[in-house]
Amino acid sequence: MKAVQNATAFGPDGVPATDTPPAERLWLGGLAASAAWLAAAALTALWPDADEWGRTGEYASLLVVVGGALAFATPTLRWLGAVGKRLRAAVPWLLVLALGLSVWEVMTAKLNLLPRPFFAPPQALLEVYLDDWPRLVECLVASLKLLLTGYGIGAAVGLVTGVSIGWSRAVAYWINPVLRLIGPLPATAWLPIAFFAFPSSWSASVFLIALATGVPVTILTWSGVASVNPAYYDIARTLGASNRFLVLKVAVPAAMPHVFVGLFMGLAASFAVLVVAEMMGVKAGLGWYLQWAQGWAAYANMYAALLVMAGVCSGLVTLLFRVRDRLLAWQKGMLKW
């Protein structure tokens, strides 16, 4: 009898069961998050600012909208499908985010405890988005154009080079030493040579981003092709496959998980190089915007641009995951990252 009781004390996933039903826990979590956002709105609107900050009213209204939306959505989460599942999983984060915004507001706008102008309140960032959005959009478009151009070139060159090294010993003999020389060096170390060798700062920035992307893609693709089971080639040759078929239909598909690891690493490296490259002569872009804001001590603008960059990077990573899941659908259940 005790064994049965102990067995039923845990859920199917090994998590200890509680006396509170799941639906009630969901209600309590959603309502707690809604109450936290509404409390943050009340704190922002009713507690006078230590100094004059614009857009305080708009910021409080935004918090009310989020809190009201959570209160409205909580009873209907189970009927919202995938959106409801995501909101259900995000309830703890929404609660923590509301508390964090409240602490940020108190430490900056209300009590002025953090040194200015290095620390700006949340409404200052909202003011940047509302007042300076045309320049931010222009810089975002310029950065995306530069990033996607360099990233696309680097990924394509890295894929071809990695497949060539992994497939051909002759190619590996000549390229491997060059890769060992260039690979350990950060792409930003090539700044003086790039700006001297290329006719414009934009083309030099494209080269640096392509270099930062191409090295990890090359190495991981090479590793993937080299680790393909030789039995796959033997079976394909027995069926009359040509070398071109072996490369395109056997080696490359088998190496794709390694390729996507290289693509993820290249994306992170390309963002770091993007900021540095845009600070060295490009006349538009988020890196240029960061340098401009820092030069004028407009730290609210700088933080706003950093949040935009974080959002863009997160969106591109999510898009890359979607592409990976679609191309590697045949490995569903095997990938753990």
Residue 107: per-residue pLDDT = 94
Residue 128: per-residue pLDDT = 93
> What are the tens digits of pLDDT across the range 62-112?
999 999 988 887 777 667 677 777 777 888 899 999 999 999 999 999 998
Give me the CATH topology for the region 133-330: MetI-like fold (1.10.3720)
* DSSP helix, strand, coil percent of the chain (3-state; round to 5): 80, 0, 20
> What are the tens digits of pLDDT across the range 223-272?
999 888 888 888 888 888 888 888 888 888 888 989 999 999 999 899 88
Residue 303: per-residue pLDDT = 93
Domain ranges for the chain: 2-120, 133-330
Residue 195 falls in which region: left (phi positive, over 0), alpha (psi -120 to 50) or beta: alpha
| Phi/psi of residue 74, nearest 5 degrees | -55, -45
- pTM for this model (two decimals): 0.81
Residue 333: per-residue pLDDT = 62
CB 309 within 8 A of CB 315: no
* pLDDT at 159 > cutoff 80: yes
Q: Which range has highest mean pLDDT (69-78, 185-194, 324-333)?
A: 185-194
Sign of the dihedral through C-alpha 271, 273, 277, 279: positive
- How sure is the predictor about 124, in pLDDT bands with cuts at 50, 70 and 90? very high
Residue 5: per-residue pLDDT = 44
Residue 6: per-residue pLDDT = 45
Distances (CA, A) of 143 to 123, 217, 231, 336: 25, 21, 45, 31
Cis omega (within 30 of 0) on the bond before 117?
Answer: yes
* pLDDT at 10 > cutoff 50: no
Residue 186: per-residue pLDDT = 86
* pLDDT at 12 > cutoff 60: no
- Judged by DSSP in three states, 16 sits in strand
Residue 7: per-residue pLDDT = 42
Q: In sequence order, what are the beta bridge partners of 11?
A: none
- Of the candidates 128, 246, 258, the one whose C-alpha atom is nearest the C-alpha of residue 120 is 128
Q: What is the mean pLDDT of residues 296-300?
A: 89
H-helix segments, 22-132? 22-46, 56-73, 82-105, 122-131
- The more confident residue out of 280 and 41 is 41
Residue 15: per-residue pLDDT = 42
Tokens of 96: 């923590």
* pLDDT at 158 > cutoff 70: yes
- Judged by DSSP in three states, 323 sits in helix
Cβ-based burial of 336 (10 A; exposed 0-12, middle 13-18, buried ≥19): exposed
> What are the tens digits of pLDDT across the range 21-68?
454 555 677 788 899 999 999 999 999 988 888 899 999 999 999 999
* pLDDT at 16 > cutoff 50: no
Q: How far apart are CA 122 and CA 108, in angstroms?
A: 9
Between 54-63, 197-206, 208-217, the lowest mean confidence (pLDDT) is in 197-206
Cβ-based burial of 244 (10 A; exposed 0-12, middle 13-18, buried ≥19): exposed
Residue 300: per-residue pLDDT = 92
Residue 228: per-residue pLDDT = 86
> What are the tens digits of pLDDT across the range 132-144?
999 999 999 999 9
- How sure is the predictor about 336, in pLDDT bands with cuts at 50, 70 and 90? low
